[in-house]
Structure formats: structure tokens, C-alpha cells
Structure 1
Amino acid sequence: MSRPDLLARMAQAQAARAEAGLLRRLRGVAAVDGAYVVMDGRRLLSFASNDYLGLAQHPRLREALVDAAQRWGVGATAAHLLGGHRAPHKALEQALADWTGRERALLFSSGYLANVGVLVALLRDGDLCLQDKLNHACLIDGARLSGSTLKRYVHADAASAQRQLAAMPEAAALLATDGVFSMDGDVAPLVELAALCREHGATLHVDDAHGIGVLGRDGAGSLIEAGLSQDDAPVLMATLGKALGSAGAFVAGSANLIDGLVQFARSHVYTTAMPPAVAAATLVAVDIARHESWRRERLQILIRHLRAGAAERGLQLLPSRSAIQPLLVGDSEVALGLSRALELRGYYVPAIRPPTVPADKARLRITLSALHSEAMVEQLLDALQAANV
């Protein structure tokens, strides 16, 4: 009996995905100009970026990046513990801790690495990792790698989470949730989940990738908006490549948490540090995000404008008050067709299909940025109506 050929097996799975109309493909962007991208030789108005505050091309970030590259070079050359931790990294960690109201912060090279690192460091065999059904994939993968028992509760349903916690009363437990859900755009019931964790002695871990910079006082995120402290939610993870327009991620919490992660978060210990120039640029982004509140105010105006215009045109947006405004379509092929129709009209709005979203929940994921204008939003709404959504 011969062993299965792994590459052949993967090719079969790929063929099945193509047959189902779910095949993903990479598309290159040739140029970026504000809210516009050039793809396949066409200039398109993009509603697909997570650059919520419009900082990725900001001249101050560019200048900080270039200046730091002149001083520090391009790469960090080593992991943080082996000489890769430079002055810009230290300054950024201090700024992130101060912004989010926490004792300390620790940089990771990506949000995926941050969540996996935390869960593997904290959880062991026999522990319970309880997660929202719509959590990001990296939280799911982190729980699996940790060896803990993974249980998933009904999306945004604290009562469902309570039943799961009560079923394993003796196990050490961590409850992980997105702050803002990346595909639906809604905000987790953080106050209820924090109360639940206090009641059951569980640790609350919040992935605020899509909340940081956008929600809360000074843009400090969904936990600050909910009035929750470090004691209420001991583990905060957020990314630097969305509202902050840069790259990488951080975990913020108590000094004990951060000291422990330096020892036991393998994805931090064994990964080259982010380039110092990126850290320097991100430090500027944090300053802008904190103090230029007009960017968040503009974003809120655009969100209200889009939702009101969609309602007037009979377009079915999912309930969301964030910059992520999904237009539910259902069928994957129909969603792809609508995305192509919009592209022909000059708009880039990708179709999101299973397995990224549940079966029969394909959608157009419209994301807004402070770079957009109300006129741009109105044009998109007209294009959606013309495409017979």
C-alpha cells in the first residue's frame, strides 16, 4: 500500500474549491494614490483597504520611515532577545502601553504571531479555550496549537459562552474574542463577556485588530470604549497594519503578562524583530491617531452616509457601526459577479466567500477610510444600485 501523495491531495482539494467557485487568487497592485489603486492597468476606487484612518501614505510616516532606515538600516537582523530590539521598538512599546492604559506592551511581527504566541504561552493540555464562533482564524489556530480544549459559543452570545464555561468548571479557562469582527463588522459584547469571566474566574483575551485607532477615547480601542480596564480584560492584542497604516502587532497588559510572554511566547522569541524603521513610522502613526480625532469623526460621517444611502436603495448591509460594512449576498457566484460588475464601473470591492465566511453568507466587504469623501460613497451606492444588487 503506497502512501498518499501530499501535493496531489492538495491539488485535488484546490480543484474541488475551483469547481465550487471558491478559488482564491492573488492580484497585484501596481500603484496606490489615496483611495485609488491601479490593478490590471485600471485605476479603481478602492473600498477594500483596512487603512481606516488614511495613514499608510501619510507624509509624516514616510519621513519617519526613511529617517530611521538611514540610521538603523532595513532589517532588525535578529530576534528581539538576540539584539534585534532597538530604540524605536522600545519607544513604540511604551507609547502603545500608554495609549491603551496598560502597564506594558510587547511587539510581534504580525497579528497572527501575536495571538498564536499568547495562547500557546498561556494554555496547556486540559485547559479550556472558549471562543466566539466568528473569531479570526489565528485565534482558532492558537488554541489548537496550545493543546487546550477548544469550545466555540454562538456569535456574540454571552449566554452561550456561560453555558460552555459552566460545563468545565474545574478547568483553567481563557475566553478569546475579536473586539470588532473582521467580516461582519459588529462589536463584541465586551462588558457582558468581562462580567462572565469575572464570575467564572476566566481570563479575557481581546483581539482588537479592527477596533484600535477607530473606537474609544483617543482611538484607544473597543475595550476603552466599553469602559473596561486591564483587570477586566488582561490580554489585549491589536495590529499595527490597519488603522495605523503600518505593519506588525502588539500585546498589552500587566508587567507579569509581558514578562511571561518574553519567556514563553515562541512566536516572539523565535522571530526576527520588525524592522526598526517600521517601528519608528508606527510611533508617528500612534501620535496622529491619538490626537487627530477628525479622522475618526470623518469615518463616522461616512459610515452614517453609506448606511443611510443603502437603506434608501434597499441594499442589505449587515448591522455594523464600524468601518467594515458588509453587503450580504449569499451565493458565492453572485457575489463574484457583483464584484466584477463594480470593477467594470471603476470600483474595487472584493467578494468574500466561504470558507472565510459561513456557507451561503458570501458578501461584498465594503470598508471605509478617512481618505474617502461623501461623494465617493455616493458614487459607490449608485454603482451598487446599477449592478442590480
Structure 2
Amino acid sequence: MPRDVLGWLDERAEQRRAAGLRRALRPRTPVAAAIDLASNDYLGLVRHPEVIDGATAALRRWGAGSTGSRLVTGTTTEHELLEAELAEFVGAESGLVFASGYAANLGVVTALSDRDTLIVSDAGCHASLVDACRLSRARVVVTPHADTAAVAAALAARSERRALVLTDSVFSADGDLAPLHDLHRVCREHGALLVVDEAHAIGVRGDGGRGWVHEQGLAGQHDVVVTATLSKSLAAQGGVVLAGARVRAHLIDVARTFIFDTGLAPAAVGAARAALGVLRREPQRAGAVLARAADLARMSGLDVVPESAVVSVVLGDPQRAYDASVACLERGLHVGCFRPPSVPAGTSRLRLTARANLGADEMATVEAVLTDVLSQARAATGVPA
């Protein structure tokens, strides 16, 4: 018999099972069987009639796919309209749409760095930025979370010609905000470019959901580059880089995830444009997300005021967090369960995400389920309920 060259996969799978870290796909039904506190549909627009109509109209006009790279056949006028509308909304000079938020982060970081670049990355950055650092060929310094002094020290000690500072604006696991004012000041002092992933901020923070960069008064600054996803508040799919025209032109020439990837499907572009239209007309949705997040924190027994749509309930042990998520689902409440490597060891958690359109009856059910499940989970840890 030939040697089983994949036998090591079974060993690794058993190690993950013993550590409570096995994962499985669970197909969902078209009509939700549980109250959704797990998705990133912050504004509640995934099934909004105007968003569905926007996707359908683009689908009928342009077809099911983009047919190729945006430099060959994949760009439509729909893509360009979305880029212009998003840029105007957040206060940027221009935008460039990618096939995903992951691709946007990979593209912008690798295109703006080389071996003569220092990248300073927050320890809490999203995996897409982590992978972008690995692919960049630059020297990378990972600084402690939200530690502006450490960023300044890394920049001051650099010998490289250029420098990028990477941060999420809203960190996806904890939901906290980056100290953008201080980071931008440090970048200015040391001649560095600030790259901010606004995936979890667009639609939630800022005037009418324009993002944390806009709220901090940094929109349109020449040394600030914003990335975002269209799959959260904008209820679609895809990613975007929002920056100056020089950056956009450079990405079109250089960014491999733009040049060699098929363009975003027209239906997703049409849906995102429609969702942005709803947000413009109903800016109060952004405030509603934060209000529901505050309710979720209170119901979870947390003495915090959430800064975003994310409410993180740390339970520590990965199996305990998973069991709590299953208990919630069995009672009609779908919550996120974050375990390593998504979060550091010892900090496995339930991740609750607020939606603007959660109703009073739904919230009453949420409170009853969370009170019961979390009291049992905390009792198992010896933490007071």
C-alpha cells in the first residue's frame, strides 16, 4: 500500500477536536429559523426590497457574472458609479472596487509596500491585513493593540524609505475603536501612510454611517487610505479602497488582486448601490445599531457602552463558548462563537452583532435566552452571573 501522505491531517483534526476547535459548515434556511445576532447585516438591509431590486436590475442588465478581470471585460458603468458614490459618501477623492474586502486589503498593502518599506500593524488587525503583511516583502512590526506609543517607537527606529501603519477602525472581535487621531498624528510626524480598514464602521459610526475616519475628521486626507467591505452594512459582496486619485491609479497598475481577479459580479454592485441609497435616505439606521448594541450589552450583563455593532461576551474556554452558542441556537437565537485563531487563547467568546431592525418582540426573546444561557455558562467558570 502507498504511504498515506495526508495522514497528518487526521492527527491535526484530533488535536483540534480535543482542544474544542473543530469547525463545521451549517447551511441555513432561506427563511431564518432563529433570531440573527451572528451576521454582519448591521443595517438589516440584506432582504430590503430596494436592495433586492437593485441586485435584480443589475443582474438582468449585465448578466450573472463580470466575465473577466476588470482590466479586460469585468468593469461596467455600474462599478464606476458605485465607486464614485462611495467615495463621495465617505469624503474620499476616489474609490476602487475589488471582488472582496479580503482582496482589497491584500491589494492595497502589497501595492503600497516593498522591501524598502516598514509596515507597522496593530496586533488586533483582521486576518486579511495580517496576510497582506506576509505577502508584502516588507519588514513588519506588530505592535500591541491600540498602543500609539509603540507605533511611534517603531516608526522612529526605521531605516526604510517608506512606512505604512495598518489598523482596523472597529476591531471585529472586541468591537473597540482605533485611536485614529493619535495614529494619524504619529504618521504625520514620521512620514508614514495610515491605512484604515473600515469594514465594521461604515454604516455604524460617523454622520449617517460615514465611518470612524469621517467621524474623526480625517476623511480625504492625502496620507490616509481607507478600505471597506460591501458585505456588512451594505448587504452585498465585495470590497473597496477609498483614497486619493494617485492611489487609485497606482492600484489599477500594480495591485495583483485587482489585475488578476474577476471583477465583482454586477448583482452585488447593484445591491450595494441600492443599500447605500437606503442609508443616505435613512441615516438614523446608524444610530439604531448602536442603540441595539447597548441593549445587548446590558442583557449580557456587561458594564460597558458598546462603541460599535459588536458586543463581545468572553467565556474563556473554547468548548464552553461553543456549547453556549449551541444552547442559544437551540432556543432560537443565533450568535457568533469566536475561538482561536480568531481570538487569543483563553478568550473564546460569544460575539453578538446588533442590527438596526431588531424589533421589541425579538429583543424580549434575546434577553430571556441570553440571561439563562450566560448564567449557566458563567456558573461553570465560577464567574458571578
TM-score bucket of the superposed structures, by smaller chain: over 0.9
Aligned to 1:359: 345
Q: Does 2:18 correspond to 1:19?
A: yes
Q: Distance in 2 between matches of 1:306 and 1:21?
A: 26
Partner in structure 1 of residue 149 of structure 2: 159
RMSD over equivalenced CA pairs, Å: 1.8
- Distance in 2 (CA, whole Å) between partners of 1:277 and 1:104 is 22
1:152 is paired with a residue whose SS is: strand
Does the alignment pair 1:339 with 2:338?
no
- Cross-structure match for 2:358: 372
Task: Tell me the distance in 2 between the aligned counterparts of 1:202 and 1:157.
Answer: 16
> SS at 2:234's partner residue?
coil
Letter aligned with residue 25 of structure 1: A
Equivalent in the alignment of 1:73: 63
Q: Distance in 1 between matches of 2:222 and 2:366?
A: 41
Q: May I ask how many residue pairs the two structures share in their alignment?
A: 374
Which residue of structure 2 aligns with residue 31 of structure 1?
Answer: 30
- Partner in structure 2 of residue 46 of structure 1: 36
Per mean C-alpha deviation after superposition, the further-off stretch among 294-303 and 121-130 is: 294-303
**4 and 173 in structure 1: CA distance in 2 versus 1, 3 angstrom threshold:** farther
Q: Which moved more, 1:347-356 or 1:164-173?
A: 164-173
Answer yes or no: is the 8 Å Cα contact 1:179–1:222 preserved in 2: yes
TM-fit CA distance, 1:330: 0.7
Measured in 1, the distance between the counterparts of 2:10 and 2:220 equals 46
Q: Match of 1:344, as an amino acid?
A: E
Q: Deviations over 1:106-128 (max 9, x none)?
A: 00000111100111111111421
Segments of 5+ residues of structure 1 without an aligned counterpart are 38-42
* Partner SS state of residue 350, structure 1: strand
* 1:113 match: 103
Task: Name the CA distance, whole Å, in 2 between partners of 1:373 and 1:63.
Answer: 24
Q: CA deviation at 1:170?
A: 4.1
Distance 1:208 1:68 in 2: 26
- In 2, Cα distance between equivalents of 1:200 and 1:363: 37
Q: How does 1:1-389 map to 2 (within 5 A)?
A: 5=5, 7-32=6-31, 37=32, 43-231=33-221, 233-310=223-300, 315-316=301-302, 320-387=306-373, 388=375, 389=378
CA offsets 1:130-177 (integer angstroms, 9 cap, x no match): 111010001010111011111111111111211222221544110000
Q: TM-score, normalised by structure 1?
A: 0.92
SS at match of 2:269: helix
**TM-score normalised over the length of structure 2:** 0.93
Distance 1:233 1:306, change over 3 A: farther
Check 1:14–1:150 CA distance in 2 against 1; reply closer, same or farther (3 A cut): farther
Cα pair 1:55 1:245 within 8 Å, conserved: yes
**What is the Cα deviation at residue 384 of structure 1?**
1.9
Name structure 2 gaps, 5 residues minimum.
379-385
- Give the Cα separation in 1 of the matches to 2:121 and 2:3: 36
- CA separation in 1, counterparts of 2:335 and 2:164? 36
C-alpha separation in 2, matches of 1:319 and 1:141: 31
Amino acid at match of 2:351: R
What is the CA–CA distance in structure 2 between the aligned matches of 1:119 and 1:297, rounded to whole Å? 32
What is the identity, as a one-letter code, of the residue corresponding to 2:113?
L
Closer, same or farther: CA 161–378 of 1 in aligned 2, 3 Å:
farther
> Do the aligned partners of 2:171 and 2:200 also contact (CA within 8 Å) in 1?
yes
Measured in 2, the distance between the counterparts of 1:233 and 1:72 equals 36
CA contact (8 A) 1:194 1:232 kept: no
Is the contact made by 2:297 and 2:305 (CA closer than 8 Å) also made in structure 1?
no
Return closer, same or farther for 1:3/1:169 CA change in 2, 3 Å cut-off.
farther
CA drift of 1:304 comes to: 2.4
Q: Deviations over 1:165-205 (max 9, x none)?
A: 22215441100000100110011001110001001111000
Note the C-alpha offset of 1:293: 1.5
CA–CA distance in structure 1, aligned partners of residues 268 and 323 of structure 2: 38
CA contact (8 A) 1:305 1:374 kept: no
Moved more, 281-290 or 248-257: 281-290
Deviates more, 1:315-324 or 1:274-283: 315-324
Aligned mates of 2:358, 2:106 — CA distance in 1: 34
Cα offset, 1:317, TM superposition = 6.6
Residues 316 and 328, structure 1, Cα contact 8 Å, conserved in 2: no
CA distance in 2, matches of 1:137, 1:124: 20
Q: Note if contact 2:222-2:244 (Cα within 8 Å) is conserved in structure 1.
A: no
Partners in 1 of 2:267 and 2:155 — Cα distance?
Answer: 43
